[in-house]
Structure 1
Amino acid sequence: MSLLTPQRPVDLRDELPGSSDGSGLPAFAIELEGLTKVYAGSRRMLPKRALEGVDLKIPRGSFFALLGPNGAGKSTLINILAGLVVKTSGTAHVFGVDIDAHPRRARRVIGVVPQELNLDAFFTPREALEMQAGLYGIPPAERRTDEILAAVGLSDKADAYARSLSGGMRRRLLVAKALVHRPPVVILDEPTAGVDVELRRSLWAYMQELNREGVTVVLTTHYLEEAEQLCDWIAIIDKGHVVACDRKEQLLRQLDSKELTITLAQAPAVLPPALAAMGAELDGLGRVVVRYRPSRVQVGQILEQVRASGCEIADLATREADLEALFLRLTGKRPESEDPEA
């Protein structure tokens, strides 16, 4: 049985507004309009504007990355959707449900995996999942505790106290808790921070399988290579504003930047004048490195200049613009050097 097989407590097709594709499900998994959050100040601190009129639409069924430096507003946005923080203004819909008009229904269509390992140390994984299922009103006959524990690799630890689990196992348990009620939207807030490579790979394989089954996965991470590999849509938020949101390929295309590394049969002591005029440089290994804009210069033109300079090409390598370059351009910060608050 699929982990997403609908159950009676969450009969989505009966209670959600339909979309134009005839599925009976909303076109957007998350839809925000003018979302604003201002934290009250004090005598010593001014009010803090965490979100500044955020407009964001996350397509249903996407694997969506929400990126930004610490302090950008990502955690505030997630906590509003989860019902943990009250927004100041604007509207928010999760899978077609208004979080203000129907807060309980909105919580039933979302599963949040928090960054913090907030588990009861004296509960076993089995007990934690059973309690979570009870909180969502899932009848005992319809619970699938063993199935979920097996899916996240915790079957052999099902009856061990949470305090005895490793950090990676606790992270898996948080994922399991978020999936108990089969939510169509799952938010992962820094899920692989501080975990080993094996867990990271198994977690992503599992989330990709859920995504193929139709679950919308929203990921926040500072590991930009993860976002670039996994996600088909990307939004970047900075200082409470969404500064970019589009399909991954479209965003990267905006950079209009490539790098061509040319290994010559004989490494030159200095660059030929024609190559130097193109802005080429020599790296530490004696290779010629040319950074160019594909919209203006073709690779063939560069190679013609190399041959015209009397150089023989031994090897070529190209590097596309990556997500880190886009992140740096839009926020002015590297993902690993951020402010202390999210």
Structure 2
Amino acid sequence: MAERRIGLIMNGVTGRMGTNQHLIRSIVAMRQQGGVPLPNGDRLIPDPILVGRSAHKLEALARAHGIERWTTDLDRALADPDDVIYFDAQTTSRRAEAVRAAIAAGKHIYCEKPTATDLETALELARLARLAGVKNGVVQDKLWLPGLLKLKRLVDSGFFGRILSVRGEFGYWVFEGDWQPAQRPSWNYRKEDGGGIIVDMFCHWSYVLGNLFGRVRAVSCLGATHIPERVDEQGRPYRATADDAAYATFELEHGIIAQINSSWAVRVYRDELFSLQVDGTEGSAVAGLRECRVQHRVNTPRAVWNPDIPNPINFWETWQEVPDNQEFDNAFKVQWELFLRHVACDEPFPYDLLEGARGVQLAECALRSWQERRWVDVPELSL
């Protein structure tokens, strides 16, 4: 067994998601476990250089996690031929310019989503990567959440029979920032900075629905800015110009109807911050981030509408837990390992920049639906 180094440029990892999920729970965790196992028995050791705008933050982050290299000079980092992967976790409005530069430098691309603030730019990045012949991928982390992996297991087994509908609830109350600090950065609520829950979350719904149930063919969406004023990280009030909630219906392949509510202005009364219910002719399931419960056709209680008496059925007790049956690793780390093996060994990796563009496309269609108050078709994309 031999160790093989793979150099990667990580841009924008001083933010919450970049630090916690991509650096600490993915790259640092891989290094601590002795690298990524390859088919021939070798171990691939990621060697990152951290890139950002704040030297102080980068130095502190690198020191805290045993990372030897950091810089505020992206051009210098891209010029190093020993670093073959460029990763981007910056704010959305900064991503396209940096990804273009990385493609021009011949780097393989792995980046957060949305890949761009508009579909034209997202497709441009996908085309540039294909023309340059570089491998490319987009973070689609929710596919490796334990709850959704169990749900995929049920879909693949035929448990549902014919799937009829999907109902999703996502969100939580994000504090306004006046009497408690907000849990999300203020740019999320400014349209001019690339903010908005539709731009942020519909990229997720595109790949979740597409990989589990079928591609989205049309969307009807109503957005809202429920909290019109918030307080930023410096304690200054600002006007929220982006949507903080969206209520959408999706028409999928195979006649499946999906409805998903997304909100940063909802108080949680459910087991997890995200839940997805699937109903089919033979059975139903409710999946969260980690858990999944099912009710088969033969175990479905006979519900009768009668508001004149107390409800005689405890509906919660009529569902069964889907067992884990496996060990679940961090979802971001799992996809990172898949992409590293894709680069090192040419293993398949279908979650490319074109898939990322499909997420941007769905967000654009949803925004158009809201603006024009109508259903909008979502055409198939190709390069």
Q: TM-score, normalised by structure 2?
A: 0.26
Larger radius of gyration: 1
Q: TM-score, normalised by structure 1?
A: 0.28
